[in-house]
Amino acid sequence: MAMAILVKVILGSIGFAIFWILAVFPAVPFLPIGRTAGSLLGAMLMVLFQVISADEAYDSIDLSILGLLFGTMVVSVYLEKADAFKYLGRLLSWNCLVQRTYFVESALLSGCKEEEDTAAEVVAEDAVRSHRFSPDTMSHLSNGNTNGSLSATVDSSYFVTLRSLVRSSESERPIVQNGASESIRSSNASLRWRMIFWTFYVYLITLGMLISLPMGENMSWTAIAAALALIVLDFKDAQPCLEKVSYSLLIFFCGMFITVEGFDKTGIPSSLWDLMEPYAGINRVSGIAVLALVILVLSNLVSNLPTSAISLSYDHKAWLMLSWVSTVAGNLSLPGSTANLIVCEQASRAPHLTYNLSFWKHLKFGVPFTLIVTAIGLTLIHSSSSTYVPANTLIWVDNF
């Protein structure tokens, strides 16, 4: 019996290790199959190794989480159609615009011709990019000489060509009768108002969903209801929008639920907590540090993991500490929060991506930021008043 348990622990650890490695490093040389396939592989190994049964594997899949993800992804598609992310990007980049404006003004007060030309090129380039034109199509012109004069020549010729195209398109506009022109203007105005009302309702439904989520409503069905409301309001075939949903991400979550459930069946997480529990009393500073360390480790080992039933002396304060540390812990590493993996997965598919957020790059700012913010929050919670309530409380490290 003991040997069977040991074999189960070893095989379950192997299955979980494969899942974890492929989730963090989806293009490892020995098995470059990606995160989604790696998640399914980990889940299948848990069943093949008989760490969990097939029925237990299916039962471990949290359909409410999958419904929430599906609904919010559909809502995000319609927010993108309503240009919400474009406006948000402009709002977030206002600081960069202020700095560029200051640079242009400084160049024109200085009286330096070279700086003035450089500032003009920066403004012109931003204007061109805002209209979704890309100088990359002219890369063959800069393959030879790459000095400043040739670059300036290419830029100037590009903008001259662009200006010529605009002027020629304006000169080639057909001359229409006054009646037809009025009809076109009226149709455009009607279409513009329809777009304004449609955008307003998209934002209103999204805001209603966000308000309903923390009010105790079922999060999964609330998100799905908002998605269906937008689909009906759009009054078009929803297939193009539904095709933008990341179904591979939903499959990744299914595999992750099964793999984590199998790893929990090995007893390793509960054994880790049983080992650290005597030193994790929250009535002393050292105990708080140990508790925070355990939560940090478990949150970054897996994103959703029940640790065990533990004895807490200060119920309210302990829950505050758990909530704070498990939330902030998601910033420490990529697997600390599934949201991190989602962002990396989507970014890897984005066109013209020039920066790859890897596991090690994330650690450089994730570790110091997490430790500093965790320490500040725990200090504030520890100094606050709390009610003495002896109780056994089930702690769940749940960090998505």
Q: Rounded to whole angstroms, what are the CA distances from 34 to 17, 21, 41, 398?
A: 15, 10, 10, 24
Q: Which strand (E) or helix (H) includes residue 337?
A: none
Rg (CA), the chain: 28
Residue 378 included in any domain:
yes
Q: Beta strand 304-312 with 391-398: parallel, antiparallel or unpaired?
A: antiparallel
Single-letter amino acid code for the residue at 73:
M
Domain count, the chain: 2
The chain-wide mean pLDDT, for the chain, equals 76
Q: What percent of the chain has pLDDT over 70?
A: 68
- Among 228, 261, 294, where does a domain finish? 261
The pTM for the full model equals: 0.70
Same structural domain, 254 and 280: no
Q: Which strand (E) or helix (H) includes residue 305?
A: strand 304-312
Residue 400 has pLDDT above 80, yes or no: no
Same structural domain, 304 and 381: yes
CA distance 144 to 185: 49
- Among 215, 230, 261, where does a domain finish? 261
Q: What was the pLDDT predicted at 224?
A: 97
CA distance 278 to 270: 13
Residue 34 has pLDDT above 70, yes or no: yes
Of 89, 87, 346, 91, give the one whose Cα is nearest residue 203: 87
**For residue 32, what are the domain limits?**
2-66+248-261
Q: Rounded to whole angstroms, what are the CA distances from 161 to 153, 154, 222?
A: 12, 10, 51
Tell me which DSSP letter residue 175 carries.
P
Mean pLDDT within 257-281: 87
Question: 331 falls in which pLDDT band (50, 70, 90)?
Answer: confident
Of 232, 231, 209, 205, give the one whose Cα is nearest residue 220: 209
The pLDDT tens digits of the residues spanning 73-115 come to 999 999 999 999 888 888 877 766 656 665 555 555 744 444 4
Q: Crossing angle for the helix pair 178-212 and 84-92, nearest 10 degrees?
A: 70
Residue 388 included in any domain:
yes
Residue 30 included in any domain:
yes
The pLDDT tens digits of the residues spanning 40-68 come to 999 999 999 999 999 999 999 999 999 99
Residue 296 has pLDDT above 50, yes or no: yes
Same structural domain, 284 and 384: yes
Same structural domain, 256 and 307: no
SS3 145: coil
Same structural domain, 49 and 31: yes
Same structural domain, 255 and 274: no
Mean pLDDT within 363-389: 81
